[in-house]
C-alpha cells in the first residue's frame, strides 16, 4: 500500500518515535514542580521549546505549545483581535485559508466584526496588491497561509508581511504545510503550525507571537504556557515534535529535490496518460511533494475508492467526496475544475517505483469510473427555441457536465445549450469545462427549479 496523503498527516518520523518512547520514562512529571522529577520534566520542555523556536526563527519565550495546529490558529486570531480591539474590528483572510482560519473568521463576523476575504489567482496565490487594497485604518489582523494545503501553491508571505508592517497591522501565518521544509521568511507577527504535518505526533501545535504584538488570551487563563494554552503539557509528545522538526529540517534540502522530481513526473505525465485532466496550482512556486489534478466526467469519491483498491491512499477536494456536497472552497476560489479531484502528497521516502506504479494504475481507474457514469439514465435533451435544454435536476456531479458534453455537438456553432441543475458544484464545474473545451460560458439565470447555465458552442 502506498500512502500518498502526507499533506493530511505525515507518517511518524523515526526520530519522533525514538524521542517519544524515551520521554515516556523521563517526562511524565509536572514541570511546574520543584522536586527532581519535575525539574527533569521542565528541562525536557525547555529544551524542546528552544529547538522548536530555532526552527521557527523566533525567541523561545515567544513560542507556546498547544494541543493542535487548529487550536494554535484559534488562539492566535482571537488573542490579537481582542488585544487590538481599540484599533478596530476588521480582519483580513485569503479565500484559500485552512478551515481553522475561516471558522475563526466566521465566529468573529457573527460577533459583529468585519471580515475581508482576499481573492486568489487561478494558481491559488494571492497578489500583494490585493492585501494592500484590503488594509483599512481599523484592520486589527491579517492572516495568510505560507503554502496551500490542497494544491501546494506558495504564498508571497514576505511581501505581504512588509505591506502589513508598513500599515502597522500584524500578520498571522499558518505555516502548517511548509514549516517542515524551512522557516517562513519575512517580518511576520504570529505563526501557527502542527506537528503531525512534518512527522511529529498528532495533538501538538505551536504558536509563536512576536514581542510587541498586542495579545489578550481569551477564555479561562491557565498559568501554563504563558496563559495561551490550558492543561497539563504533553511533554513526551512535545519533545517528539521538536526532535522530529529538527530531523526533517536536516533532511529537507535533499528530500525536497527528490520529491520535486517525482511530483513533476506526475504533473507532466498525468495529462498525457489521462484525457480531459486539469493539473491545478502554481507549476513553479509550490511545495515539494504535492500535486493536484481534476478529471472531467469523474465522480471523486468513486475514483478515490478505485485507487484505494489498487493500493494508493490519496485525498480529494472534489465536491463528490463523502465528507461534503459542496466544492472545495480552495478549488472554488481558484475557479478551477473540482470534479474528479485528486491530491497526491508524497511523504518523505516515497520511491520512484511507487510513483511509476501509480501512473500505471491511474488511467485504468479513471477510465473505469467514466465508463460507469457514461451511459445516460434517460433522454435528457430537449429543444427550446433555438437552444438545447439539458435537464440534470436532482443529479450530482459530474453528471450535469457529462450530459452537457454529450449534447454540445448536437447544436450548430453559435447555438446554445441550457443546463438545468440544482447541484452547487455545477456553478464551478460548467464554466471550468467550457474553458477546458474551448466553449463559451454565457452565464447563469434563475429557473423554476435550480439554476439554468447557458453555454454557447464556439468550436
Active-site residue identified among 23, 164, 295, 320: 320
CA–CA dist 251, 362 (Å, integer):
30
First to last CA, the chain: 44
CA-based nearest residue to 302, from 291, 290, 318: 318
The predicted pLDDT at position 397 comes to 82
The predicted pLDDT at position 453 comes to 95
CA-based nearest residue to 154, from 133, 131, 175, 129: 175
Q: Give residue-wise pLDDT tens across range 35-63.
A: 999 999 999 999 999 999 999 999 999 99
Percent of the chain with pLDDT over 90: 78
CA–CA dist 58, 332 (Å, integer):
35
- 327 has a pLDDT exceeding 80: no
Q: Give residue-wise pLDDT tens across range 147-157.
A: 999 999 999 99
Q: Give residue-wise pLDDT tens across range 65-86.
A: 999 999 999 999 999 999 999 9
CA–CA dist 11, 337 (Å, integer):
30
DSSP 5: B
Q: Where are the alpha helices (DSSP H) in 113-198?
A: 128-134, 157-166
Residue 143 known to be catalytic? no
Question: Residue 117: is it exposed, middle or buried by C-beta count within 10 angstroms (0-12/13-18/19+)?
Answer: middle
Q: Is the dihedral of CA 123, 128, 133, 135 positive or negative?
A: positive
- 26 has a pLDDT exceeding 80: yes
The predicted pLDDT at position 318 comes to 59
Q: Give residue-wise pLDDT tens across range 402-417.
A: 999 989 988 888 899 9
Distances from the Cα of 327 to the Cα of 7, 254, 334, 391, angstroms: 19, 36, 11, 21
CA–CA dist 99, 101 (Å, integer):
5
Lookup: cell for 456: 454557447
Distances from the Cα of 184 to the Cα of 56, 58, 250, 279, angstroms: 7, 11, 16, 26
Note the residue count of the chain: 459
pLDDT level of residue 32 (50, 70, 90 thresholds): confident
Distances from the Cα of 304 to the Cα of 4, 159, 314, angstroms: 12, 38, 7
Better pLDDT: 56 or 322 = 56
Name the one residue in this structure whose C-alpha cell is 490519496: 314
CB atoms within 10 A of CB 443: 10
The predicted pLDDT at position 457 comes to 93
Q: Give residue-wise pLDDT tens across range 419-450.
A: 999 988 899 899 999 998 899 999 999 888 89
Across residues 189-218, what is the average pLDDT?
A: 96
Of 69-73, 191-195, 382-386, the one with minimum mean pLDDT is: 382-386
SS3 287: coil
The predicted pLDDT at position 410 comes to 85
CA–CA dist 12, 15 (Å, integer):
8
CA–CA dist 60, 48 (Å, integer):
9
- 320 has a pLDDT exceeding 70: no
CA-based nearest residue to 296, from 312, 268, 274: 274
Q: Give residue-wise pLDDT tens across range 105-126.
A: 999 999 999 999 999 999 999 9
Amino acid at each position: 500500500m502506498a500512502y500518498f496523503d502526507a499533506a493530511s498527516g505525515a507518517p511518524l518520523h523515526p526520530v519522533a518515535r525514538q524521542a517519544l518512547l524515551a520521554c515516556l520514562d523521563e517526562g511524565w512529571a509536572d514541570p511546574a514542580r520543584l522536586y527532581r522529577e519535575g525539574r527533569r520534566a521542565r528541562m525536557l520542555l525547555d529544551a524542546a521549546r528552544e529547538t522548536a523556536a530555532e526552527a521557527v526563527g523566533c525567541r523561545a519565550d515567544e513560542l507556546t505549545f498547544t494541543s493542535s495546529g487548529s487550536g494554535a490558529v484559534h488562539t492566535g486570531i482571537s488573542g490579537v483581535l481582542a488585544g487590538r480591539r481599540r484599533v478596530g474590528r476588521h480582519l483580513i483572510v485569503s479565500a484559500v485559508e485552512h478551515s481553522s482560519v475561516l471558522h475563526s473568521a466566521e465566529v468573529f463576523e457573527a460577533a459583529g466584526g468585519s471580515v475581508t476575504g482576499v481573492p486568489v489567482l487561478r494558481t491559488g496565490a494571492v497578489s500583494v496588491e490585493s492585501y494592500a487594497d484590503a488594509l483599512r485604518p481599523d484592520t486589527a489582523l491579517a492572516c495568510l497561509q505560507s503554502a496551500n494545503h490542497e494544491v501546494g501553491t506558495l504564498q508571497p508571505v514576505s511581501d505581504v508581511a512588509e505591506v502589513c508592517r508598513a500599515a502597522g497591522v500584524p500578520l498571522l501565518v499558518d505555516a502548517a504545510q511548509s514549516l517542515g521544509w524551512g522557516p517562513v521568511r519575512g517580518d511576520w507577527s504570529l505563526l501557527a503550525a502542527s506537528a503531525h504535518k512534518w512527522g511529529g505526533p498528532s495533538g501538538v501545535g505551536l504558536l509563536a507571537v512576536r514581542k510587541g504584538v498586542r495579545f489578550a488570551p481569551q477564555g479561562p487563563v491557565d498559568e501554563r504556557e504563558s496563559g495561551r494554552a490550558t492543561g497539563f503539557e504533553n511533554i513526551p509528545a512535545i519533545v517528539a515534535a521538536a526532535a522530529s522538526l529538527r530531523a526533517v529540517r536536516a533532511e529537507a534540502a535533499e528530500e525536497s529535490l527528490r520529491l520535486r522530481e517525482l511530483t513533476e513526473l506526475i504533473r507532466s505525465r498525468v495529462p498525457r496518460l489521462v484525457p480531459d485532466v486539469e493539473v491545478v496550482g502554481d507549476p513553479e512556486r509550490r511545495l515539494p511533494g504535492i500535486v493536484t489534478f481534476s478529471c472531467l466526467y469523474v465522480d471523486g469519491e468513486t475514483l478515490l475508492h478505485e485507487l484505494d483498491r489498487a493500493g494508493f491512499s490519496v485525498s480529494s477536494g472534489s465536491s463528490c467526496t463523502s465528507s461534503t456536497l459542496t466544492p472545495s472552497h480552495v478549488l472554488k476560489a481558484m475557479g478551477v475544475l473540482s470534479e474528479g479531484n485528486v491530491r497526491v502528497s508524497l511523504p518523505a521516502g516515497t520511491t520512484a517505483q511507487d510513483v511509476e506504479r501509480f501512473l500505471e494504475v491511474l488511467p485504468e481507474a479513471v477510465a473505469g469510473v467514466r465508463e460507469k457514469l457514461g451511459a445516460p439514465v434517460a433522454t435528457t435533451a430537449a429543444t427550446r427555441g433555438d437552444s438545447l435544454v439539458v435537464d440534470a435536476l436532482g443529479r450530482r456531479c459530474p453528471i450535469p457536465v457529462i450530459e452537457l458534453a454529450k449534447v454540445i455537438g448536437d447544436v450548430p456553432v453559435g447555438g446554445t445549450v441550457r443546463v438545468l441543475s440544482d447541484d452547487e458544484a455545477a456553478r464551478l464545474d460548467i464554466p471550468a469545462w467550457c474553458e477546458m473545451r474551448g466553449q463559451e460560458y454565457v452565464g447563469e439565470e434563475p429557473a423554476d427549479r435550480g439554476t439554468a447555465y447557458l453555454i454557447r458552442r464556439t468550436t
